[in-house]
A and B are shown apart, each in its own frame.
Chain A
């Protein structure tokens, strides 16, 4: 049981816009910033979005993040086949669960 809640799966067709949600509590997302990691099959996770909505150098602007209250979202526009991966949200948690917590991950399938 992960501290942050993500849908286990999501899907879309090429060119579509897809969003992945991440739900938490006041002690984690409600208080601190959210990050997103992309894990392509058979590879290590890669930082995709940090501090809610910032993209590291090299990450396409098709990827965007947002946060409101105790929830966060990752949006992918202009979906491409190479976006098929697992996506994890993560944040700092001020409670006894923390300090670093992840969501259970969302497997994105490009149809």
Chain B
């Protein structure tokens, strides 16, 4: 079955750029949305961004100015870059596979859910 594995530095210095990669195994990277989600210590889930296999992207408005998401279909990997990090960016970062589309023929109702998640990787921002 499809598995996702996050990788990247566990410690990033304040004001620098956080870079993470998610590797997809056991399945295709095509026709899915690939997302990054994070969870600060003791807090809830925060969606960061997704990229479709075609390269189209969508970002959380609150993070958009600092986030870049990219995909390398040949390597079955997608990546996250978050610039100018601060202590508030300390979190567990998850990658996930998303499924989405129009829910009914009206064209007004949309569905989007994340059915496969990585185990997460902890990133700490140090001063």
Chain A: residues with CB nearer than 8 A to chain B? 2, 31-33, 35, 37, 39, 43-47, 50-51, 56, 86, 88, 90-92, 94, 96-105
- Bound state CA distance, A33 and B104, in angstroms? 10
Q: Quick one: given A44-B94, A45-B117, A92-B112, are A100 and B47 in contact (CB under 8 Å)?
A: yes
Q: Would A46 and B117 count as touching, CB distance under 8 A?
A: yes
Report the interface size for chain B: residues with CB under 8 A from the other chain: 26
Contacts of B117 in A (CB 8 A): 44-47
What is the count of residue pairs linking A and B with beta-carbon distances less than 8 angstroms? 77
- The B49-106 residues at the A interface (CB cut-off 8 A) are 50, 58, 60-61, 94, 99-100, 103
- Bound state CA distance, A105 and B42, in angstroms? 11
- Bound state CA distance, A47 and B110, in angstroms? 17
Query: How distant is B41 from chain A, measured CB to nearest CB, in Å?
Result: 13
Contacts of A86 in B (CB 8 A): 44
CB within 8 A of B112: which of A44, A56, A100, A103? A100
- Bound state CA distance, A45 and B35, in angstroms? 13
CB within 8 A of A105: which of B45, B58, B100? B45
- Bound state CA distance, A45 and B93, in angstroms? 12
Enumerate 30 A-B pairs (CB-CB under 8 Å) in ascending A order: A2-B44, A31-B109, A32-B103, A32-B112, A33-B113, A35-B112, A35-B113, A37-B114, A39-B45, A43-B119, A44-B119, A44-B120, A45-B114, A50-B99, A50-B111, A50-B113, A51-B111, A51-B113, A56-B115, A88-B45, A90-B47, A90-B113, A92-B111, A94-B110, A97-B61, A99-B58, A100-B60, A102-B45, A102-B46, A104-B44
